[in-house]
Amino acid sequence: MSSLSSTRTLHTHASIRIEPPQTAEGKNWIINSSPRRRFLVSVPTCALLISFMGGRTIGDAVSEVAQLFSVDSLSLERLVHTLEENELIVESESEMHNWALQIKKSWSLYGWNEAANYQIASYNYPFVNYGSDGRSLDIARMDEYSSEEPDVNRVKPPMDASKVLPVIPTRSALNELTESFGRVWLKECNDQQLDAERLELLLSTLFGKLRHRKVSVTPNRADLIRKTSPSGGSRHPTEGYVFVLNVEGIAPGIYHFSVAAQALEQVGTLPDNEVLLKLFSGPIKRAQFEPEALLVMTTYFERNMYRYREPRTFRSVFMDIGHLCVTMETVASSLGLKCQFQHAIDDEQIESLLGVHSLEEGAMFGAALAGGAKLV
């Protein structure tokens, strides 16, 4: 080989993710690589990258691909040179390659393969510095986004409901929470029955609209919603659904908390107990009580994606749910109720029951609820 030593060993960079063509007619494959780069490559180039995975001499890799695709070795040598220049293939001493390799190896021990890929893809992503000109840049971005597409997704439209039950307004619900924080923190509140009134107080406090704030005089941007729990950019992507099993005053069924209507919309009927156990295995098995209602939190992804157009957006939706989980636990305690939240739910089957699409609105978290006196 003229410009490359055929005996030199190279490795495909551990951060690389390979995607097939987007259409049946497409000829180019997509290569994603850290830091935040994307390449369209030919099939022989993709084959070279695969050949170098785990380490391979240049001579062996070129020879193998040349035989498979009837491509002359000189052209493949040039491809190897280009791939190395772009750090898609590297020597074993590459610091970034070894960092990504270690992340994948260590995280795979816990079954976190997809999370490792996400960590690598979003590593060292630049942030807007609000200490300097970040706020003005943020305002300019939102003005640009809304000039291209309206920013009006604040609440979920009414669902196809068989029954609609009005729920106490959120501010009124807050006035009903009279226990001191000290008693709530120490779990000294008296046990109470989970009935319609207390369930509605809990749901209204969790998901209801407290107030709004105008951000623009143009119709392209709807007023921002304020709730009891904070949400990045006031996007509030979390929707609430409750599977009512045994709550006095509310018929068994599946209900959606409608922020727009401040009401519970009955959107389905309950499956049998065996199915419920599979759907909510985490909350039900962890709970030290017999559940009388099961809560599902979903994420309406578009709300956050509109504003935060970068790979770390996915983290913010879990922060949103985290705030709500602590609010739920605190309010449930103040009402004398038992609460057990846990992420181990069958999201795919729950989404099917709710009639939502996982790429638009995904089931993320579950909780079991019961009256405080219902210990087993």
* CA nearest neighbour of 10 among 73, 68, 61: 61
Q: What angle do CA 358, 364, 367 make, to 5 degrees?
A: 140
What separation in angstroms does the CA of 49 have from each of 28, 39, 139, 282, 340?
Answer: 14, 12, 42, 41, 47
pLDDT at position 4:
60
Task: Collect contacts of 174-177 with beta carbons under 8 A, ≥24 apart.
Answer: 174/205, 174/210, 174/228, 176/201, 177/201, 177/205, 177/331, 177/334, 177/335
pLDDT of residue 24: 76
- Rounded CA separation 245/290 (Å): 10
Q: In Å, how far are 7, 84, 178, 290, 304 from 182, measured between CA atoms?
A: 71, 62, 12, 27, 35
Long-range interactions of 135-143: CB distance < 8 A, separation 24+: 142/215, 142/221, 142/307
Dihedral Cα 26, 27, 31, 32, nearest 10 deg:
-20
Q: Which residue type does 275 have?
A: V
What is the per-residue pLDDT for 1?
46
pLDDT given for residue 374 in this prediction:
45
Contact 202, 170 (CB under 8 A): no
Q: Which residue has the tokens 């979920």?
A: 156
255 half-sphere exposure, CB direction, 13 A CA radius = 28
Q: What pLDDT is attached to residue 376?
A: 42
Burial, 129: exposed, middle or buried (Cβ in 10 Å; 0-12, 13-18, 19+)?
Answer: exposed
CATH no., domain 9-90: 3.90.930.70
- For domain 152-371, the CATH architecture is 3-Layer(aba) Sandwich (3.40)
State residue 221's pLDDT score.
93
Q: Which residue ranges make up each domain of the chain? A: 9-90, 95-145, 152-371
- Residue 208 identity: G
pLDDT averages per 10-residue partition of the chain, 376 residues: 73 92 83 86 93 94 93 92 94 93 94 89 80 84 92 94 96 95 90 96 97 88 94 94 97 97 96 95 94 97 90 86 95 95 94 94 96 62
- pLDDT for residue 345: 96
Beta pairing partners, 33: 37
Tell how far CA 194 is from the center of its chain. 30
